[in-house]
Structures are given as structure tokens and as C-alpha cells.
Structure 1
């Protein structure tokens, strides 16, 4: 809660807690020092267009937050209305949370509320002059605002005292005591007597505060209800995150299990097909090896007969040669004519086994998760009141 409140109490220009916050026409608040710097930037921008003037002033200040312009034609930055409500809330916040991560104490903050209008480094003001409406540090006060002469009659006050003064009418300088509901502004008695608010709904500050506080409390209750709904919805979203993780991991496990079964089935079919190939290969090998054995036996027998015949041709005893040569010739001719046909007993290819997995591949490529078009939009999740009545 404290960190959320700190965001409301932080100036968007200096990114620090508001110090002497002033209101622009757009009702956005900024530190007085920050607005002074904005005005000085405009002064430097318009300096070349202003002639025969030692000092220049900016005509308008552009709000850094919304861009709306605040006219300064008839006033200076220090005349801008102070946001005392915001300033008091910042003081209370520092008193309650000053020890929680912040180095600036309440006294340091109150000293920072008013800065010296003459120091280059803008030192903390020690005194402010009610008549001059200027702040002085302890070094500049005796020099710029001496205690003698005409300035001796001016009223000097500490910045803390000045900041605790009641809001005064910017036109007449009197303390405001009346609230004009029609104009939604506080006015003084002179404003009321001038007739500018004649016919308007006017009341004293006490009744106006009670009425507007009631409106604010009613609005805050509505905002609290909305914040409560958002908080409950955030809890449901957090619970949904856990559900997403559980369901996602469950689906991951299911996908893994199903794909494992597919792998096992494919491996089973692979082993079956490989077994068929190995059995067919073994049959073919057995046939070829039997044929090889037969032909090798015939080859050895023929080679032996050839060698025997060559030895017979070398015989010198003519009678011995002629005694058995005719039977040898008959054996050679018989062996030559009795050779088997030189043909393969079977084909070495596996044309009888056709491997066609195209249909299976197509089916595998079709394996996917079913999509019910339940996809979250990239535009984000809209938080509506009816969302809180739905179940995850």
C-alpha cells in the first residue's frame, strides 16, 4: 500500500516526492522548483525575441503530463496556487514511512519545501518574507534583505510556518472562507461581496468539505469495490496459471506417452520386417551355398580329370598309353557333356518383398494436437465485471 501511495506522491518531472507542489490550469501538480525550471527553459527560448528588458518571463507553461498550457501573462510561477492537500499528504507519508527506505527526514523535507530564490544552487530557505513573497537562505538573508531600512518593517517567517498558513485568495490575498459549488473553487469574503458569484450555490467550508468528502468517500468505495474485483480476478488468474502448468505438463506427458507407444510400435514393425528380410536372405544364401558346393565338387572332379589326362599324355610307354586311353577319352567326354546348366537357382534380389511406407509416412505427418481455436488474443485480457462471475 505504501509503495502504491508513493507513486501518487511522486513528481513526474524530478521523480521525487512532491516539494511545494503547485497546480497548473489542467489541475496537474508539480514541484515548485520543477515548474520554475520549466519557466526558465521557456525564458531562454523566448529571450532572443524580447528587447530592452533585463529579465524575461514565459507567457505559458506546457504541462509535461497532458500538454495543456497554463498562462502566466498576469502572474509569475510563485503565484500559481499551492496544492496544500497534496503537500500535507506528502508530509504525513514521510512521517509514517520516513524510515522505510528513504534518507530524507520530515525536517529535511520541510526545509526543501521552500528554496532560496537567490542562490545559484537553490539552498534551503531559512526565512521567507510575507511582503516580498521571496525565500532567503541564511547566507542571502542579511545581504539581500538587510534588517535595516525600509525592509526592516517586513514580516519574516520560517518556511514551515508559511507552509502551514491557510489558503488565501489569489486576487484579494484574504483567507478563503467560502466554497462556490458552481465554480468548484474557494473564495474570500471580498469575492462574495463583489457579486461575481451572485446566484451561485455557495456554502461555508465546513459544509462544503462534508459534502465533497461524502462524494469522495462514495467514489472511493466504488474504486475499492473495483480494486477488490480486480484483486479477486488476479487471484483467479494466478490460480489459472497453476492450472495451465498442471494441464500443460499433463498434456506433455500424454504426448510423450503416445509418441513412445508409436515408437514402440514402429520398432516392433521394424523388428518384424527385418526378421522377414533375414529369413528370406538366409533361404537364398542356403540355396546359393548348396549350388556352390555342387559346382565346386564338379569343378574339382573335372580339374582332377584334366590333370590325370595331362599326365597320361606324358606317358612314354606307347603300349601302356594305348591300353587305357580310349576309356580315358570316354570319361573326359562324358564329364564334359554331363555338366549342369550354369543358371542361378534363385534371384539374388528381394523383388518379392516390397517396402512401401509412403502411406504410413503421410499418416505420421498428420499426427498433431487437435486445436479447438481456443487461442488467447495478443491484444490482452479485458477485465470486465462479468469476468468475476465466470469460473476458470
Structure 2
């Protein structure tokens, strides 16, 4: 699968997600020292993991807040939480946008392939139709030749009988 979304470092289509660096990477990134040995995941799996991490962080925060009871300085926590949500939403939107581009490209390729197959089949059917017409014409010609041969045979038989009768009469 190829993508129109480009890698920031190489301006090449992104292929996969580096889970250590938390970034979508291209084929050159895969072979670079920067990402060598890093675990990777598909773009879709990375989106799903971001969602799961966000849900876990929210649950952990709710648990800590219940333990603390009334907390006087919630403003910084809420701001950090909002920033985390915003970053996560941005990452998810980007990853799904990448997936949409890939799906659209694959759809175009599949439709082009289907069109080519349809044209090829249509051309073959036209060839078969032409050959069928040639065969029908050939059969008609054979039928005419047979009819002429029968007529000649009947005429020759009649002439032969006539000559035979003449000889017999002499």
C-alpha cells in the first residue's frame, strides 16, 4: 500500500508507525539508524492504541482525583488534560486522514484494473463474434458447394442413363 501523506524527514509516502518515536515513517526511515530496532505498528493500530491510552489516562486521573477528594489546584491538571486530549485528537485525525488517502488510492487502482479487465473481455468477445460469423459464412459456402455437387451428380446420372438407353436402343 502506498500513501500520499509524506514523511517529514524524507518527503516520501508513510508506510508504518514507529511506536518508540511516536511518528509515522517511510521506507527510508525504516532502514535508518534513527528507527532501527524500534517496534512498529500499522497506522490503524497506532490510532487504536492512542484511543486506548487516552481512555486509560482518563480513568487513572479519575481514580487519583477520587483518592485525593477535594483538590484546590485543578486548573493545571485540567489544562494538561485538555492539551493531551487535543494532541491525541490531532494524532488520530492525522492517522485516519492517512488511512483515507490510502483507501482512496487503492479504490482508484481497483477500479482502473476492473475497467481494463472489462475492456479486455469485451475485445475478446468481439473477436469471438467475428470468428463465429466467419464460421457461419464458411458453413453456408459448404452448403452451397454440396448443393451444386448434388445437382451435378443428378445431372451426370441423368445424362449417363440417357446415353445408356441410346446405346441399348442401337
TM-score (norm 1): 0.24
Residue correspondences, number? 111
- Match for 2:57 among 170, 177, 181? 181
Report matched runs for 1:264-283 at 5 Å: 264-283=137-156
Q: Which of structures 1 and 2 has the bigger CA Rg?
A: 1
Cα offsets for 1:24-75 (capped at 9, x unmatched): xxxxxxxxxxxxxxxxxxxxxxxxxxxxxxxxxxxxxxxxxxxxxxxxxxxx
Task: Find the aligned partners of 1:249 and 1:187 in 2 and give their Cα distance.
Answer: 67
Q: Which has the higher contact order (CA 8 A, sep 6+)?
A: 2
The alpha-carbon deviation at position 293 of structure 1 amounts to 6.4
- Match for 2:112 among 239, 244, 247? 239
Task: Find the aligned partners of 1:286 and 1:212 in 2 and give their Cα distance.
Answer: 109
Residue 258 to residue 187, structure 1, CA distance change in 2 (3 Å): same
Q: Does 1:211 align with 2:84?
A: yes
Q: What runs of 5+ residues in structure 2 fail to find an aligned partner?
A: 1-54, 70-75
Q: Does 1:193 align with 2:68?
A: yes
TM-score (norm 2): 0.50
Task: Find the aligned partners of 2:59 and 2:103 in 1 and give their Cα distance.
Answer: 35
Task: Find the aligned partners of 1:258 and 1:281 in 2 and give their Cα distance.
Answer: 34
Task: Find the aligned partners of 2:61 and 2:100 in 1 and give their Cα distance.
Answer: 30
- Match for 1:222 among 95, 99, 105? 95
The alpha-carbon deviation at position 278 of structure 1 amounts to 2.3
The alpha-carbon deviation at position 290 of structure 1 amounts to 4.0
Task: Find the aligned partners of 1:292 and 1:210 in 2 and give their Cα distance.
Answer: 122
Task: Find the aligned partners of 2:77 and 2:135 in 1 and give their Cα distance.
Answer: 84
Q: Which residue of 1 aligns with 2:136?
A: 263
Cα offsets for 1:109-141 (capped at 9, x unmatched): xxxxxxxxxxxxxxxxxxxxxxxxxxxxxxxxx
Root mean square deviation of aligned Cα: 3.4
Residue 280 to residue 212, structure 1, CA distance change in 2 (3 Å): same
Task: Find the aligned partners of 1:264 and 1:218 in 2 and give their Cα distance.
Answer: 69
Q: Does 1:286 align with 2:159?
A: yes
The alpha-carbon deviation at position 222 of structure 1 amounts to 1.6
Q: Which residue of 1 aligns with 2:48?
A: none
Q: Which residue of 2 aligns with 1:128?
A: none
